[in-house]
Amino acid sequence: MPTDHLEVSASGQAAGSADLEDWVSLDVIEIGHCARVTEVDASEADIEQLMAMGVCVGRRIMLMQTGDPMILKVLGTRIGVSARLARNVKVQPCLGDMFGEG
């Protein structure tokens, strides 16, 4: 399903209102927050590699550093990612520590 970028950033702003039910795009979550991947727009050619490294539906990720490129942590590994790619990943903020309980 192709994602409209405008729509993504709009929902990103909505996340600012602390509504945890909202889906946001990966490039707008905050540092140190844990989030679960809910959708990945696979129409971007280079996203496959990101998915192969674990950024795919169902995984919990954490933003370590903002900016372009940004740093994510997924499955215990840090990954440097261009913001351009991160825009294609939709996440839902999740509560609690992503580490420790397996």
Q: Which residues bind other proteins (CB under 8 A)?
A: 40, 42, 46, 48-54, 56-59, 64-65, 67-69, 71, 74-82, 84-85, 99-100, 102
- Compute CA distances 21 → 17, 45, 69, 80, 81, whole Å: 11, 29, 27, 27, 25
List residues bridging with 35 in a β-sheet: 61, 93
Compare residues 18 and 45 and give the one whose CB is closer to other proteins. Answer: 45
- CB of 13 vs other proteins, minimal distance in Å: 23
Which helix H or strand E contains 33, and what residues bound it?
none
Residue ranges in the chain assigned as alpha helix (H):
5-15, 47-52, 83-86
Shortest distance (Å) from residue 32 CB to other proteins: 10
| Closest separation in Å from C-beta 31 to other proteins | 11
Q: Is the CB of 10 or the CB of 75 nearer to other proteins?
A: 75
* Cβ distance to other proteins smaller for residue 14 or 64: 64
Q: How far is the CB of 86 from other proteins (least distance, A)?
A: 9
Main-chain phi, psi angles of 34, to 5 degrees: -95, 145
